[in-house]
Copies of this chain bind each other. A is one copy, B any other.
């Protein structure tokens, strides 16, 4: 399909943060995108060829000119989504992790054995995430091979970039009879079958839909399964996604069973590679950070989900300063919000709570952990570049040679709480306002690999 498209050119204000902590704003940028969706040229006002390029672009019927108050940003990257939990978004958030899984989540996920249940829900999810500006989505499916293949089909058809895994979970001690792999062999065979299926999908080029080996988390899996999944991941050189040291219960379970933290255990099973996404990682030690850095894994920081299920704040600033790849995840439906912008605000807020502390009974000097805050710009970096680096994809910034995964944010939409005062707000203010108050209403266009998925 992408081969049928013509080159496109966008004229407008480009806002991104290729380097953490550095905002780059290019007014009146001319961004040229090749027919296969790659950014092939960025003309800046003032350059020697700019006027000439502008004259040429204005004659191009493919030119898209942004209006005043519209901004071209990199598409948002969501590193952690449980696709089947979409109907559960924003409810059932009063239970601890173990009870939530057993009472609410496993019964819901089990319904995806029925493709007629799966189809409209997965379709709705992908549509809604695209509408929220999520250009790259990292999905856990369910144990059901057919439903997870369907999710891949839907992402490919709708054009969203996606990393998708058929969930493996065979441990009868921790998974209910009605929802688990009957044997590790079935889990491994179906994991292979899913990878083969995705890689063989017709039209699946340019890293559009990618398979991931997906052990739910250590408690759900036998050692045999974990070992087998590590082997498959290396054999196929594909992504891996799992949960890591999310909560006290889960972290202590792994300590009890394997005598080490999640990170070390996953490493021993060959599950830490430069294509691994570790969700949460709230309780990782300094030693774990070193291991994660050495393996070049990514971390899916899910600040809103953490509030309900993780018992502590993920030390995002420490991880970033340590040089880890950290992106953001909604953790649908562990987190109540479907969009990454809400999780940007969540990441700032969580980090401020960690820095300030929370208990008003303590003296000010006894509260908090100094130097824990991340800024809105750090959050935006995680939502774009951090996510892209975690997945090893050339997205997350609007730079030469990168895929054109981008959104247009419109700050002039009527029914919106995002308001800009042109005489009072700097470029940095505007990005901060977008991060804090931008919503799906403001996402006016969405492209993935140069293909327009939302807007006109």
Q: Which residues of A contact B (CB under 8 A)?
A: 86-94, 108, 124, 128, 131-132, 248, 252, 282-284, 304, 307-308, 310-315, 336-339, 345, 348-350, 352-354, 356-362, 364, 367-369, 375-376, 415-419, 421, 424-425, 429, 432-433, 435-437, 439-441
A90: B residues at CB distance < 8 A: 418, 432-433, 435-437
Docked Cα-Cα span, A339 to B416, in Å, equals 11
A350: B residues at CB distance < 8 A: 358
CB distance from A123 to the nearest CB of B (A): 13
Q: In the complex, are the beta carbons of B360 and A314 less than 8 A apart?
A: yes
Docked Cα-Cα span, A315 to B348, in Å, equals 21
Q: In the complex, are the beta carbons of A311 and B364 less than 8 A apart?
A: yes
Q: In the complex, are the beta carbons of B248 and A364 less than 8 A apart?
A: yes
Docked Cα-Cα span, A92 to B433, in Å, equals 10
Q: Name the contact of A419 in the complex, choosing from B93, B128, B368 (C-beta under 8 A).
A: B128
Q: In the complex, are the beta carbons of A359 and B313 less than 8 A apart?
A: yes
Docked Cα-Cα span, A339 to B439, in Å, equals 13
Q: In the complex, are the beta carbons of B419 and A440 less than 8 A apart?
A: no
CB distance from A399 to the nearest CB of B (A): 26
A312: B residues at CB distance < 8 A: 356-360, 362, 364, 367
Q: In the complex, are the beta carbons of A433 and B89 less than 8 A apart?
A: yes
CB distance from A142 to the nearest CB of B (A): 16
Q: Beyond A336-B437, A337-B437, is A425–B359 a contact (Cβ under 8 Å)?
A: no
Docked Cα-Cα span, A345 to B312, in Å, equals 18
Q: In the complex, are the beta carbons of B440 and A91 less than 8 A apart?
A: no
Q: In the complex, are the beta carbons of A308 and B433 less than 8 A apart?
A: no
List the 3 shortest-distance A-B pairs measured between CB atoms, nearest first. Answer: A90-B436, A248-B364, A312-B360
Q: Name the contact of A336 in the complex, choosing from B339, B345, B375 (C-beta under 8 A).
A: B345
Q: In the complex, are the beta carbons of B360 and A283 less than 8 A apart?
A: yes
Can you identify 26 A-B contacts, CB atoms within 8 angstroms? A87-B419, A87-B421, A87-B424, A87-B425, A89-B417, A89-B419, A89-B433, A89-B437, A90-B436, A91-B433, A128-B417, A128-B419, A307-B349, A307-B352, A307-B353, A307-B356, A312-B360, A312-B362, A313-B358, A313-B360, A336-B436, A338-B417, A357-B358, A358-B358, A361-B369, A417-B440
A420 nearest CB neighbor, chain B only: B87
Q: In the complex, are the beta carbons of A415 and B440 less than 8 A apart?
A: yes
Docked Cα-Cα span, A350 to B352, in Å, equals 12
Docked Cα-Cα span, A345 to B425, in Å, equals 28
CB distance from A352 to the nearest CB of B (A): 5
Docked Cα-Cα span, A409 to B440, in Å, equals 18
> Chain B CB within 10 Å — which of A304, A356, A416, A418 has the most?
A356
Q: In the complex, are the beta carbons of B432 and A91 less than 8 A apart?
A: yes
Q: In the complex, are the beta carbons of A354 and B358 less than 8 A apart?
A: yes
Docked Cα-Cα span, A263 to B240, in Å, equals 55
A416: B residues at CB distance < 8 A: 440
**With A89-B417, A282-B360 already in contact, 4 other A-B pairs whose C-beta atoms are closer than 8 Å:** A91-B432, A93-B376, A312-B357, A338-B437
Q: Beyond A354-B359, A359-B312, A417-B89, is A439–B439 a contact (Cβ under 8 Å)?
A: yes
CB distance from A64 to the nearest CB of B (A): 21
A439: B residues at CB distance < 8 A: 439
